[in-house]
Amino acid sequence: MSAGMWSKIGRWSGWLALLFLIVSVVSGFAWDIRTSDFITGLSGGLLNRSLGSDLHTFILVPLFLALLLHVAPRIKKLLAD
């Protein structure tokens, strides 16, 4: 792969990791017993404690993979030098 392609992969996976992080934070607040009523009301009842728990648990693996892809181009560049 060319350097430009690695740069694109790093950039897009960074934005994807940011999206996953935002979903993880919001679902974590929906899972918390103190803030779950606020998030449920804010989402119009769509994100309750049960869904927040499942979503927060499920999103951790894609978040980790996106962060790994975000860092991989820099690691590849460091190893090549």
pLDDT tens digits in sequence order for the chain, 81 residues long:
677 887 888 899 999 999 999 999 998 888 888 888 888 898 898 888 999 889 999 999 999 999 999 998 888 777 877
Q: Which domain holds residue 36?
A: 3-80
> Burial, 67: exposed, middle or buried (Cβ in 10 Å; 0-12, 13-18, 19+)?
middle
CB atoms near residue 43 (< 10 Å): 14
CB 56 within 8 A of CB 35: no
CB 69 within 8 A of CB 1: no
Q: Is 39 left (phi over 0), alpha (psi -120 to 50) or beta?
A: alpha
* pTM, rounded to two decimals: 0.79
Q: How many independent structural domains does the chain possess?
A: 1
